[in-house]
Amino acid sequence: MIEKTVAELSAALAAGETTSVALTQAYLEQIAAHNEALNAFITVCADSAMAQARAADEARAAGSTAPLLGIPIAHKDLFCTAGVKTTSGSKILHNFISPYDATVVERLQAAGAVMLGKTNMDEFAMGSSNESSYYGVARNPWSLDRVPGGSSGGSAAAVAADLCAMATGTDTGGSIRQPAAFCGITGLKPSYGRVSRWGMIAYASSLDQAGPLCKTAEDAAILLNVMAGVDDKDSTSISLPAEDFTATLNDSLKGLRIGLPKQHFTRGLNPAIESAVRLAVAELEKLGAEVKEIDLPNSDLAISAYYVIAPAEASANLSRFDGVRYGYRCENPVDLEDMYKRSRSEGFGEEVKRRIMIGTYALSAGFYDAYYRKAQKIRRLVKEDYARAFEDVDVIIGPTTPSPAFALNSMKDSVTMYLEDIYTIALNLAGLPGMSVPAGFVEGLPIGMQLVAKDYAEAKLLNVAHQFQQVTDWHKQKPSLTASAKTTEA
């Protein structure tokens, strides 16, 4: 049962073929068997999960038809969960127990989902490999000596290894799409504002967005139905008419206009990934889509602009962690200044400190115009590139990442790691929705195809991805967990 999709589990529960208690028990057993190797979970909530499962079964017996009733989920450890530790992957929040639920958590709970626990992640979502987590790296189920991607690496590994049926993640520059690609699952970053950020520990507020990591596009649609929607606690959430994202999954792709950005098929891209993505696009052509090359002339500038804007916002957001209000406090401070300094020096990891310093520098009086304002101008240019492209095409397709999952400890410097996000980051600058779907294997590892649509056109993305998954079976491939365990021993 644990390998089934959310749609299948939902049908099985409705038909009485299984119960939430049985399912939850099965996922907890899978976690017990494999989490030590994968380190996908920071916290497992076995008792409360079983209690929620019993309540779900009772609610079903009483006639409830909540869409996710009784289906086990895992949340990235930056979603606040009332009464459960929320670390954001950092030592500075090692003992933080949130007094309230994030809106996303609350909505999924109201829809009946059973929370299995909280997943591993790069510290404060800064990273592309999960290696910056204070709680140790999460591992890729396809090969334990590879990273699962980041920053939502624990969520991606957990879904890929059937440690949960579905998971939440967040994406500031690629953190849902890149780990989805590396772990061979489906991940959706919604348009900025589509999902409430309330209760999500902020990294870069103008870029952060929550979304689902799951096994299929259909599951992503089911989850987005629950997660999306305006929230008066988040003034950047958008009020749009309610949509059923599953309603258009089966629309025909006849006449769909696909754009392939020439900048996404050049130097730096692993040639085997290029061939896999081109074959995937050919499948969509067989379904009636038309393909043309497009130009996104400012693509090369996106990473540089992001690495000014994101650290600038992070330096402001992370100023609240000062040893006073919550989280880690240094021992025996001699005065207030000492407490601030040592709590932050001891509580934050290296990458987080680097970003705080870059951000503080970029925002300082003499440098604001040279860096921050210029980065915002580039952001506008990037957004305009996409707007222009969408005058001629409905979706833009390319690889999600330039390479398959890389080996643990193989990135020698931060800038090489930053370049991992070369195809994903522009969407966050532009606020656009994007998805990664499994599109083949390279060196025995899964790779992803990225689909991008106009603002708020998630339904279109999900439709294209679902149709693709009707004619391919890349998303059905499973890692062999015992085989991957052997790789590491060897």
Residues recognised as catalytic: 76, 151, 175
Pairing between strand 257-261 and 445-453?
unpaired
Q: How far apart are CA 12 and CA 484, in angstroms?
A: 30
Q: 340 or 348: whose CB is closer to ligand GLN?
A: 348
Nearer to ligand GLN, 173 or 438 (CB): 173
Spatial separation of the C-alpha atoms in residues 399 and 176, rounded to whole Å: 14
Nearest approach, Cβ of residue 242 and ligand GLN (Å): 27
Report the half-sphere exposure of 76 (CA within 13 A, side-chain side): 34
DSSP state letters, 62-105:
TT---TTTT-EEEEETTB-BTTBB--TT-GGGTT-B-SS--HHH
Query: In the complex, which residues of this chain contact ligand GLN (CB under 6 A)?
Result: 125-128, 151, 171-175, 203, 310, 421
Q: Smallest gap, in angstroms, from Cβ of residue 261 to ligand GLN?
A: 20
For 272, counting Cβ atoms within 10 Å of its Cβ (0-12 exposed, 13-18 middle, 19+ buried), the class is middle
**Least distance in angstroms from the C-beta of 173 to ligand GLN:** 3
Between 30 and 128, CB nearer to ligand GLN: 128
C-alpha–C-alpha distance, residues 316 and 319, integer Å: 5
Q: Cβ 14 to ligand GLN, closest distance in Å?
A: 35
Burial of residue 282 (CB within 10 Å: 0-12, 13-18, 19+) is: exposed
Q: Which is nearer to ligand GLN, 140 or 172 (CB)?
A: 172
- In degrees and rounded to multiples of 5, residue 11 shows phi and psi of -65, -40
Query: Which residues does 391 contact at the CB level (< 8 Å), separation at least 6?
Result: none
Residue 329: Cβ within 10 Å count: 18
Residue closer to ligand GLN, measured from CB, 126 or 181: 126
Cα(131)–Cα(107) distance, integer angstroms: 30
Instruction: Between 39 and 175, name the residue whose CB sits nearer to ligand GLN.
Output: 175
**Minimum separation from the CB atom of position 192 to ligand GLN (A):** 13
Which pair of structure tokens corresponds to residue 115? Answer: 């929370």
Q: Which residues pair with 114 in a beta bridge?
A: 72
* Whole-number CA gyration radius for the chain: 21
Closer to ligand GLN at the Cβ: 174 or 323?
A: 174
Q: Are 152 and 171 in contact (CB under 8 A)?
A: yes
Q: How far is the CB of 216 from ligand GLN (least distance, A)?
A: 22
Helix (H, G, I), strand (E, B) or coil at 43: strand
- 3-class DSSP assignment, residue 449: strand
Q: At closest approach, how far in Å is the CB of 461 from ligand GLN?
A: 18
